[in-house]
Chain A
Amino acid sequence: MTRLKKRGAGRQLHGGKVAYAVLILFTIGSLFPLVWTAIAASRNNTRLAETPPPFWFGGNLFKNLEIAWTDANMGTALVNTLVVAGSVTVGTVLFSTLAGFAFAKLRFRFRGLLLLLVIGTMMVPPQLSVVPLFMMVAEFGWTDQLQSVILPTLVSAFGVFFMRQYLIEALPTEVIEAARVDGASSVRLIWHVVFPAARPAMAVLGMLTFVMAWNDFFWPIIALTQGGEPTVQVALAGLGRGQIPDQSVIMAGALLGTLPLLIAFVLFGKQIVGGIMQGAVKG
């Protein structure tokens, strides 16, 4: 009792049985579709058309994965997605940190105006730029090439805003002044002062960007084709179009496309949860 009182009245109470029951229910609800994807991927098409649906694994998993890997182009798609999401993440984090630092700590002409521009376009949906982007890609002959999906998402207004918000508090202005008085050039200042201070926020932004880039759907299915250089999402859309009628292979494809991020979640779940919660407080 005394311990409880010390921790404050209402909040840090232990959860009751009901709390656990509800949380377990939501956990099952969250995980079941994923587990069932694996179950369905390990069966065959005829079994999936029977009643009741299967609730345990069959023996076809590797066969289905192999068909998805080759026939649905999932192998190429995974490599392509890794390239796309990797470059977009590096670009976004680097450019957002540099610009975010400038907006947070340096004075220059039109700073307020430019920042307003960044914030104003932060929530503009991708639909608004898709037609001109399509024209550009057609003009440059980039159809079905990875740069057509990398370049348009290489920077993000949200990223700049996010880094700015973080650096305003995390990087004391006195530290920058001291470095300047010591005669540090901008390059040294950024390398030795800004990057170390920004590292936690860079990690959060990088993680959010990677998940977003991995799962990006709207623009890639316009710019890329399934038979050429698809990303995972483009290949999955091809499966959705009924390119391979076998449901268990479709599920194998969905499993392949999700597995890399799921593994990351199992390994870094704690950090990812922490990152999202941190990002929520800052943003």
Chain B
Amino acid sequence: MTDIPSDASAAAPSTGEEGAAPRARAGTLAGDGREAVAGARSGSLPGAADPAADRAAERRRARRSRRYRRDVKWSPYALIAPFFLFFIAFGLFPLLYTGWASLHRVELGSPTDMEWVGLRNFSRLMEDDFFWNALRNTFTIGLISTVPQLLMALGLAHLLHYRLRGSMFFRVAILTPYATSVAAATLVFVLMFSRTDHGMINWALGLVGIDAVDWQNGDWTAQFAVSSIVIWRWTGYNALIYLAAMQAIPNDLYESAALDGASRWQQFRHVTIPSLRPTILFTCVVSTIGATQLFGEPLLFNQGASPTGGSDHQFQTLGLYLYEQGWFNQHLGRSSAIAWTMFLILVLIGLLNWAISRWIRRSS
């Protein structure tokens, strides 16, 4: 690959130089051939306009080939420049500066006045019960929302993989929640999870003889309700990702399994699942990352969209806690410390994932 651009740039000038010779010859055919060729070489013959024009043409050609070489050499940098310009300004720099800010006392009112405090923001965090509460909630809500979501998605993908009438309709239908924003979905679910018996869900429970549940104020009920929004929005999306992976499994695997007398369930268990392992791992990672940042659902699920995550902080996630510390308690420095703690957790998850995928690869 290294050779290609340099080869091309070497080829370009040579064609240019060779191109010059025939044209000079052609131009002199009208007059004395030999003289003109000599003139073209020495450039000293007077009278003919040709040599000067030739020199100009040659210079032009040389310039063009120089430009061409420059183009080939520098174009890769020009191509990545716009991306990296924005990426550094709004991605990389803020990422690192968050680390710097986490070592300072920064107030919301005057975010540019920073006072060095060392690791105090982090130590304050470790002493704060609400931090541990938020960490716990993020973990449990993540678990309640991710595990059923991915299991249902797997089942759905399996069903969608059959030959079905209207299969495209089913696919589009289960994907529509993905098009619904967190805000819109949560506002609707808040109304459906309304505490009194006129809420849709409590009314439905009432039909089967279960008393109205105060969804928002219970510990587990609130976490379940918040998780249900996540599940609703992402199950169909993940099902389509699994379906795409299932369609890539070669049919012979199933054929030989069927020849060995494997039932449909056994085929699913011993052919489909092992083939989907990388995809399953991928969706687990993406869902985990999503769960770590969970923010909009618990914010808007709360009364008046306050960032406390319920009257008792029972569904306050890390994302919400960060927002509360920074934009309500006005401690941007502490907010930054929370952000970096979240980042460390994600790195830990990443390492774990890497170890698991290595272990899977070695065992299979």
Contact = CB atoms under 8 A, between A and B. Distances in A.
Nearest to B300: A240
B342 interface: yes
B211 interface: no
B42 interface: no
Interface in B179-195: 179-192
Contact of A276 (B240, B323, B346): B240
A195 interface: no
Contacts of B15: 183
A155 B83 contact: yes
Contacts of B203: 51-53
A185 interface: yes
B76 to A, nearest CB: 4
A270 B106 CA distance: 49
A202 interface: no
Contact of B82 (A155, A183, A237): A155
B162 A36 contact: no
B264 interface: yes
Contact of B245 (A13, A173, A255, A280): A280
B185 A33 contact: yes
A131 interface: yes
A272 to B, nearest CB: 7
Chain A interface size, under 10 / 10 to 19 / 20 to 34 / 35 or more: 35 or more
B176 A278 contact: no
Provide the main secondary structure of the chain A interface. Answer: helix
A280 B244 contact: yes
A9 B197 CA distance: 51
Nearest to A277: B244
Nearest to A96: B83
A72 to B, nearest CB: 11
B91 A121 contact: yes
A79 interface: no
Contacts of A153: 90
**Pairs A-B, 8 closest by C-beta atoms:** A129-B94, A9-B258, A15-B162, A269-B172, A8-B251, A236-B183, A186-B75, A10-B254
29 contacts: A10-B264, A10-B267, A33-B180, A99-B82, A106-B76, A111-B76, A125-B343, A127-B339, A131-B106, A132-B94, A134-B111, A154-B86, A157-B91, A180-B5, A186-B71, A215-B180, A217-B182, A233-B296, A236-B184, A240-B299, A257-B183, A265-B176, A272-B172, A276-B240, A277-B247, A280-B245, A280-B279, A281-B248, A283-B282
